[in-house]
Chains A and B, each alone.
Chain A
Amino acid sequence: MTHRSYYWMGVRHGAPFLLVVAPFGALFGVVGTEAGLNLAQVMGFSFLVIAGASQFAAVQLLTENAPVLIVLATALAVNLRMAMYSASLTPYLGKSPLWQRALAAYFLVDQSYAVGINRFEDHPEMTVSQRMAYLFGVITPICPNWYVATLAGALLGQSIPPEYALDFAIPITFLALVAPALRSAAHIAAAGVSVVMALLLAGLPYNAGMLVAALVAMVTGAQVELLLKRRAP
């Protein structure tokens, strides 16, 4: 397969996530405008930050007139999980040129990470440049549409009515990505601990529950893997 065909495969695998990105981006455009931001500021958020959950958190705090430091600390805490994404992609992409890694980092959103890592784990034979081509393919339908959807929401000022239950597009798409990645008992144990801990710690501020749950789940997965290896003959 050529790099071009890896790129287009990525585009195909990223395309379904338009379903999530379009309504979510439009909603940010609406909420940002209603919060009193002007068009440039709303678009500035989606271009410079390009991370939905943290953008919503920041706008919410801006409307409460929280100090800038609190806004930054909260929104950055929401994005801390991306450090884990960055670490987990490093073994697959670390050998590519710095500018490509920097560009991939800018576009490292939940969806591009989840689709990319699934592919890289299932196809260890891919070369580094094939992985990059694939990843930029995945990014192509997702990230530019984040800008377009934000603009549409900000200009039209109407979000999609709640009857469409589009709030659930995010959980469904992530579940559909995670379930096939449960390839061993250790993966299942990690995911199980992740769910239980996240629910138990959901009350913690600054997204801390999610981060603690993820760290404990990673340790669980690694330890279960070691345990099973020792038991195996």
Chain B
Amino acid sequence: MTAMSDAQIWLTIVLLGIGTFLIRFSFLGLIGDRDLPEWVLRYLRYTPVAVLPALIAPLVVWPEATGGQPDPARLGAAAVTALVGYFTKNVLLAICCGGITLYGMIYGLGA
């Protein structure tokens, strides 16, 4: 339980909301319709494949649900999702195959 006052909690929420909005609005708002130089665009092209794997890699290898221990079911599901997604380019199919692998390994194999 937090011992903070209601005012302190609201202050935190409002400032965090404003700060998060400013982070999201930063480039969209300030640069807007000005053209970005080619070298900047070259970096930006790799944003999704640079940020999202870094976001999920620790969750795949050290899942909180298993107390941070690597888990065959989760590693298997991650591998299947990535392979199906890469070869079929079908996001939904990849999610389904990953989910089936996860539950199959947890409940089918008891892994």
Interfacial residues, chain A to chain B (CB-CB below 8 A): 13, 16, 19, 35-38, 41, 44-45, 47-51, 54, 58, 62-63, 65, 68, 71-72, 75-76, 79-91, 93-95, 98, 101-102, 104-106, 108, 110, 113-114, 117-118, 121, 162, 165, 167-168, 170-182, 186-187, 190-191, 193-195, 197-199, 202, 209-210, 213-215, 217-222, 225-226
Contacts and interface: CB of A to CB of B under 8 A. Distances in A.
29 contacts: A16-B92, A36-B1, A41-B9, A44-B14, A58-B16, A80-B23, A81-B55, A82-B20, A83-B27, A86-B25, A91-B41, A93-B28, A101-B25, A102-B25, A110-B55, A171-B60, A172-B77, A172-B102, A175-B85, A176-B84, A176-B94, A179-B83, A179-B86, A190-B46, A198-B54, A210-B54, A214-B51, A218-B46, A221-B46
A218 B47 contact: yes
B91 A194 contact: no
Contact of A86 (B2, B24, B60, B102): B24
Nearest to A35: B2
B25 A210 contact: no
Given A68-B11, A82-B23, A174 B49 contact: no
A41 to B, nearest CB: 5
B81 A179 contact: yes
A185 to B, nearest CB: 12
Nearest 7 CB-CB pairs, A to B? A179-B85, A48-B17, A221-B46, A217-B50, A176-B94, A88-B47, A198-B54
Nearest to A89: B28
B19 A72 contact: yes
B29 A176 contact: no
Interface in B53-111: 53-65, 73-74, 77-78, 81-86, 88-92, 94-95, 98-99, 102-103, 106
Interface of B: 1-4, 6, 8-17, 19-21, 23-29, 31-34, 36, 39, 41-65, 73-74, 77-78, 81-86, 88-92, 94-95, 98-99, 102-103, 106
B48 A178 contact: yes
Contact of A62 (B12, B36, B90, B98): B12
A105 B26 CA distance: 9
Nearest to B18: A48
